Amino acid sequence: MTNSLRVRLLWWLLVPLAIYVFVTGKAAYDNARHTAELVQENTLLASARMIAGEVEWSDGRLLVDIPPAALEVFASPYGDQVFYNVSVDDGRLLAGVPDFPTRRAAGHDSPNYYDAELHGQSIRAVGYVRQMYDNGAIRRVLVSVGKTQASRDAMIRELWRPQLVRQIEMVLLAVALACIGLTFELRPLLKVKEDVMDRDPMQLEPLRVERLHTELRPIVEAINQCIARLGLQVAAQRRFIADAAHQLRTPLTLLETQLQFARQHREIQPSLSEALSAMQRSNRSMVGLTNKLLLLAQAEAADYTQLARQKVDLSAIAQDVVENLAMFAQKRDIDLGAELADSAWIVGHEALLSALVYNVTENAIRYTQPGGHVTVSVARDAQRVTLTVADDGPGIPAEARSRVFEPFYRASADTEGTGLGLSIAKEIVQAHRGEIALGMREHSARGLVVTVEFAAA
Ligand SMILES: Nc1ncnc2c1ncn2[C@@H]1O[C@H](COP(=O)(O)OP(=O)(O)OP(=O)(O)O)[C@@H](O)[C@H]1O
Ligand SMILES: [Mg+2]
């Protein structure tokens, strides 16, 4: 059987209802048949009695005059045929059909009803005995009246059909109501499905159970427990990365100092000095990676509801970042400009937002060829604050755009970098419920425009 809950519940409803309709339908049919037979037998007996009442002695002989009323009682629109036979116990036929299958009750004279065949038709008949006395002689006159079954069948149909139709209508109504009811009642379940489907993978809040049926709650509560455990697991992993990055920083800093000290040694061979400076470069990039991992872990763990509910001015943050990067831009011969609104307040975490602007702007400076232009702008309207960082460098090819937000993904191998900058940026934007998008500059085939939008505070 199918696995659909709806279909299965309908089966559970339909099968007992069908059995019920069958049983009550059968009982109704038996009842209707019984009633129709009773009515028919009463009419047969009335007719036989009327005929018997007309049997009389005349000159020592029995005679009968069939009263029209005795046959008129059978008048019906169903075209039934009526047969009769009046015969005396000495074998004489007084009236009627000679080959009528007469039958009288054995041993007594009470009316006897029976089914028989006459001229190839099945009939229901009654045998009624009247005793006639004359001068001490007793004669038994047997009046038999039979009739075909058309009106009886019609009566059964008329009594039984409406009941059957009513019951079938009731079943259909029940099924229709059950279908509508199931559709309504299954909605909360579908809602849960949508709720689960629409989530992003790291949204680990519990599903809502308030509006669910009692039967469904345990399932959703079990899912919620699973989500909670998953949340703990994810938090533990993030903590682990953050702790590991944190722990790495101290030995790396120490190493940096020791390398510096070693390089200052006078009697050092030139080749050793080269090796030491290479070690120092590796160490610096390791420090950079560790710091970025720590920042990524912090950004991932940041939660909008828990972010310090303080207002920060994105213009001021961008101003700081541009000043910090001015030297770097100058070194790379990049024209770094800023177009900042007077103030652009949003709710958020200052250090994280600063890292966001820094990463995006540093990318623009780093990947744009010498002589290029980078513009950082912050604009504001009633609802939104928009940060835009535009450059006229090589841009990012369309096929790589969706991937640059993945950790460790780098579109160009010829420059140094960890591939974490944009992942961190995205996490920070998400933690602030903002949106980040990569686009092209207007009227230009070159360059990249990174747009970040936040709700204005
Ligand atoms: N403004 C840009 N112009 C061209 N390519 C860019 C730009 N910004 C980012 N990219 C490409 O996207 C990739 C991912 O950038 P992301 O900032 O995440 O990492 P990264 O800069 O390589 O390393 P990190 O920033 O961690 O030191 C880069 O390797 C680069 O190829
Ligand atoms: Mg970068």
**Domain containing residue 77: CATH number:** 3.30.450
Residue 13 located in a structural domain: yes
Same domain, 28 and 79: yes
In this prediction, residue 363 carries a pLDDT of 95
Same domain, 296 and 313: no
- Ligand 1, atom 1: nearest CA belongs to which residue? 364
Same domain, 35 and 58: yes
Residue 163 located in a structural domain: no
Q: How high does pLDDT run on average in the chain?
A: 89
**Pocket around ligand 1 at a 6 A CB cut-off:** 292, 359, 363-364, 367, 391, 393-396, 404, 410-412, 417-423, 448
In this prediction, residue 1 carries a pLDDT of 58
Give the mean pLDDT of 418-444.
Answer: 92
The enclosing domain of 395 has a CATH number of: 3.30.565.10
Residue 72 located in a structural domain: yes
Give the mean pLDDT of 321-328.
Answer: 97
In the predicted structure, residue 319 carries a pLDDT above the cut 90: yes
Same domain, 278 and 314: no
Q: Which residues surround ligand 2, an ion (CB under 5 A)?
A: 363, 421
Q: Specify the number of domains making up the chain.
A: 3
Same domain, 147 and 15: yes
Give the mean pLDDT of 106-119.
Answer: 84
Residue 441 located in a structural domain: yes
Residue 170 located in a structural domain: no
Same domain, 139 and 268: no
The enclosing domain of 271 has a CATH number of: 1.10.287.130
Same domain, 275 and 327: no
Highest-confidence segment of 145-149, 258-262, 307-311, 334-338: 334-338
Ligand 1, atom nearest to 389 Cα? 1
Same domain, 279 and 319: no
Same domain, 264 and 323: no
Give the mean pLDDT of 154-162.
Answer: 90
Each residue's pLDDT tens digit, 266-282: 788 888 889 999 999 99
Q: 252 lies in which domain range?
A: 217-300
Each residue's pLDDT tens digit, 32-63: 999 999 999 999 999 999 998 888 888 878 88
Residue 186 located in a structural domain: no
Q: Considering 157, 190, 205, which residue would you say is the last residue of a domain?
A: 157
In this prediction, residue 334 carries a pLDDT of 97
Backbone angles phi, psi at 162, to 5 degrees: -55, -40
In this prediction, residue 37 carries a pLDDT of 92
Q: Considering 157, 179, 196, which residue would you say is the last residue of a domain?
A: 157
Same domain, 20 and 147: yes
Residue 73 located in a structural domain: yes
Percent of the chain scoring above 70 in pLDDT: 99
- Ligand 1, atom 4: nearest CA belongs to which residue? 395
Same domain, 290 and 358: no
102-111, 187-196, 206-215: least confident range: 102-111
Same domain, 82 and 26: yes
Q: Considering 111, 133, 157, which residue would you say is the last residue of a domain?
A: 157
- Ligand 1, atom 9: nearest CA belongs to which residue? 363
Task: Spell out the SS3 assignment of the chain.
Answer: CCCCHHHHHHHHHHHHHHHHHHHHHHHHHHHHHHHHHHHHHHHHHHHHHHHHHCEEEECCEEEECCCHHHHHCCCCCCCCCEEEEEEECCCCEEEECCCCCCCCCCCCCCCEEEEEEECCEEEEEEEEEEEEEECCEEEEEEEEEEEECHHHHHHHHHHHHHHHHHHHHHHHHHHHHHHHHHHHHHHHHHHHHHHHHCCCCCCCCCCCCCCCCCCCHHHHHHHHHHHHHHHHHHHHHHHHHHHHHHHHHHHHHHHHHHHHHHHHCCCCCHHHHHHHHHHHHHHHHHHHHHHHHHHHHHHHHCCCCCCCCCEEEHHHHHHHHHHHHHHHHHHCCCEEEEEECCCCEEECCHHHHHHHHHHHHHHHHHHCCCCCEEEEEEEECCCEEEEEEEECCCCCCHHHHCCCCCCCCCCCCCCCCCCCHHHHHHHHHHHCCCEEEEECCCCCCCCCEEEEEEECC
- Ligand 1, atom 7: nearest CA belongs to which residue? 363
Residue 182 located in a structural domain: no
In this prediction, residue 420 carries a pLDDT of 94
